[in-house]
Amino acid sequence: MTPDGERRADLAIDDERISAIGDVPRASREIDARGKLVLPGCVDLHTHLASTPTFTPLDDFEHGTRAAVAGGVTTVCSMVYQEGSLRAGAERGLRDAARSCADFAFHVVVTDPSPAAIDEVAALAREGHGLKVFMVSPHFVERTADYLDLYRAAAAAGVVVAVHAEDRAVIDRATAQLHAAGRTGAEWFPESRPVQAEIVAVRAALAHAELSGAALYLVHLSSRGALDGLREGKERGARLLGETRPLYLYLTRERFTRPDAALWVGQPPLREREDVEALWAALRDGPLDTVGTDHIPHRRAAKLDPSLTFDTVPPGVANLETLLPMLYSEGVRRGRLTLARLVEVLATVPARIAGLHPRKGVLAPGSDADVVVFDPNARRTIRSSEMHSACDYDPYEGWDVTGWPEVVLSRGEVVFERGTITARPGRGRFVPRGRYGES
C-alpha cells in the first residue's frame, strides 16, 4: 500500500530505509509476502508509557512497545509531564524510553502555563517535542488566559497541541450529585461524565484555536456531538484535528451494566450505539483524522478494587497490540473503511500531524523501512494471556479477529516475526518531530 494506492510489487530495503518499490534486485534476506498486505508501520500519537515523579505505568516503554511492535505499531508518541520546566518532563521521557523497542516522540503535558514555561516552547519545538493540555484539569478553568498564551506560542513555533476536551464544571457537578445520592459504583461512571462535558469543551477548543491560531489535536473524541463541533471548526477554517480511540468504535456504555464495569473505565466514557455509528462515518468520510490508542492499562485487581468509587478507578486500558488488527477486521473486512483509509488514519496522517512524514507513515523510497507484512486471513481470538502488554486482562477478551501482523520491521530490522518479538529493548530511537504542516 503506497501513497499512490494498492499495487503488487516488491519492496527493497537498504540498511534502515526503503530503497525501491517495484522491480528490485535480489537481496541478502527475502521475506515472502505473497498473499499478504504490505503496510507502513502504524504511528500511534497517544500513549502513556513514560513515568511521572509519582507514577510508573504498568506498561512502561519496554512492555508497551513490545505490545506495539507485535501489533504493527512502529512509532509511539508518549505523554510526559511538566516538572517545573517543560524540558525536565521531556528529559524524563527520554530516560524512560531507553529500553524502547519502537521509535518514539513526545507530547509534553503543560500543567502550569507560566511565563517561563511559555518561553520554553520555541526551543522545545526545535528539539522535536510537542505539547498536550488537559482542558478537564481545574488549572485550565482558572488559567484559560495563560493557556491561550501558550497556544499562541505553540502556533508561532509550529507545534501541534494535543487537547483532552472535557469540561471540568459539568463533570464536577454530575460527580457531586451522584455522590450525594450514594451512587458511587463504577456503573455510574458514564453518568458522571455526560456527553455535554465533551461537547462544551470541543466548542471552547474551537474558539481557542480561532483566537490563538494554534493547531489543536483533539484526542479521544467519543461522541456524535463532539464530531459536530470538530466538523464545524474545520469548515470554518480553524486548525482543529480529531482523534478517536478504539474503545469508542467497538463498545457502548452497555458494558457499564456488568459487574466488572470498572474494567472499561477510560475518559471520556463509553457512549451510545448512535455515537459508535457516527464515529465510523467520521473515520471514513471525515472529520476524524486518526485513531490513537490512549494505551495505559492497569491490572484487573487495580480496576476492580471494591474500595474505589466511579471517580477513583484508574482510567485507561491496553490497546497497542490490537489497534491495527481490530481496525482491519472490524473496519476493512466489514466494509466500513477502505484499506487506503485505514493506512491514512493509522500511519500517514498521524505521521503528518507529528511532523514525522515522510520519514514515517508511508511506504516510499527514502522513508524509514517501518513495514508490516499483514496476513488478511489470519484468524485469532483475543486472549490477554497471549498479548504482550504486562496487563492481565484485555478490553476485547474473546473477540474474534480476522487479519493479524505476520512480520513487522522497524528501520529495516525484523522486530516481530510469526508470533515472536525479536526486538532488543533499547533499539528504538527518538524521532524528533518537525513543524506541523511543513513536512
Residue nearest to Zn ion (CB): 294
* Least distance in angstroms from the C-beta of 79 to Zn ion: 6
The C-alpha cell at 361 is 507513515
Q: Nine-digit cell at 28?
A: 541478502
> Looking at 119-127, 189-197, 294-302, 418-426, which segment touches Zn ion (CB under 5 A)?
294-302
Given 146, 167, 289, 294, the residue binding Zn ion (CB under 5 A): 294
Residue 2 or 319 with smaller CB distance to Zn ion: 319
Q: How far is the CB of 97 from Zn ion (least distance, A)?
A: 17
Pairing between strand 17-22 and 37-40?
Answer: unpaired
Q: Which is nearer to Zn ion, 167 or 294 (CB)?
A: 294
Task: Return the residue matching grid coordinates 514555561.
Answer: 117
Between 243 and 406, CB nearer to Zn ion: 243
Please say which residue, 73 or 371, places its beta carbon nearer to Zn ion: 73
Binding window for Zn ion (CB under 5 A); candidates: 10-18, 116-124, 232-240, 289-297: 289-297
Distance in angstroms (rounded) separating the CA atoms of residues 151 and 267: 23
Do the beta carbons of residue 347 and residue 40 sit within 8 Å?
A: yes
Phi, psi angle pair for 44, to nearest 5° = -100, 115
Shortest separation between residue 5's beta carbon and Zn ion, angstroms: 33
Q: Are 432 and 127 in contact (CB under 8 A)?
A: yes
Q: Which is nearer to Zn ion, 57 or 113 (CB)?
A: 57
Residue 168 corresponds to which cell in the numbers above?
471540568
User: Near Zn ion by CB under 5 A, which window of 182-190, 283-291, 293-301, 347-355?
Assistant: 293-301
CA distance 2 to 362: 7
Are 293 and 424 contacting, i.e. CB atoms less than 8 angstroms apart? no
Q: Are strands 17-22 and 10-14 parallel, antiparallel or unpaired?
A: antiparallel
Judged by CB, which is closer to Zn ion: 294, or 370? Answer: 294
- Which grid cell is 374? 499483514
Least separation in angstroms between residue 295's CB and Zn ion is: 8
For the CB of residue 336, give the shortest distance to Zn ion in the complex, in Å.
25
- Taking the least distance from each CB to Zn ion, the nearer of 189 and 374 is 189
Q: Which is nearer to Zn ion, 109 or 227 (CB)?
A: 109
CB of 222 to Zn ion, least distance (A): 12
Binding positions for Zn ion, 332-361, rule CB under 5 A? none
198/294 with CB nearer Zn ion: 294
- Tell me how many residues contact Zn ion (CB under 5 A): 1
**Number of C-beta neighbours around residue 338 at 10 A:** 13
Interaction pattern, residues 305-334, with Zn ion; x per rule: CB under 5 A: ------------------------------
Min separation Cβ 31 and Zn ion, Å: 34
Rounded least distance, CB 332 to Zn ion, Å: 26
Whole-number minimum distance, CB 243 to Zn ion, in Å? 10
Report, in angstroms and rounded to the nearest whole number, the Rg of the chain calculated over CA atoms.
21
Question: Between 59 and 294, whose beta carbon lies closer to Zn ion?
Answer: 294
| Binding region for Zn ion (CB under 5 A) out of 97-105, 134-142, 286-294, 322-330 | 286-294
Q: How far is the CB of 219 from Zn ion (least distance, A)?
A: 6
Stretch that binds Zn ion, among 33-41, 112-120, 228-236, 290-298 (CB under 5 A): 290-298
In a 10 Å sphere around its CB, with 0-12 CB exposed, 13-18 middle and 19+ buried, how is residue 399 labelled? middle
Of the listed pieces 17-25, 108-116, 167-175, 288-296, which binds Zn ion according to CB under 5 A?
A: 288-296
Q: Which residues bind Zn ion (CB under 5 A)?
A: 294
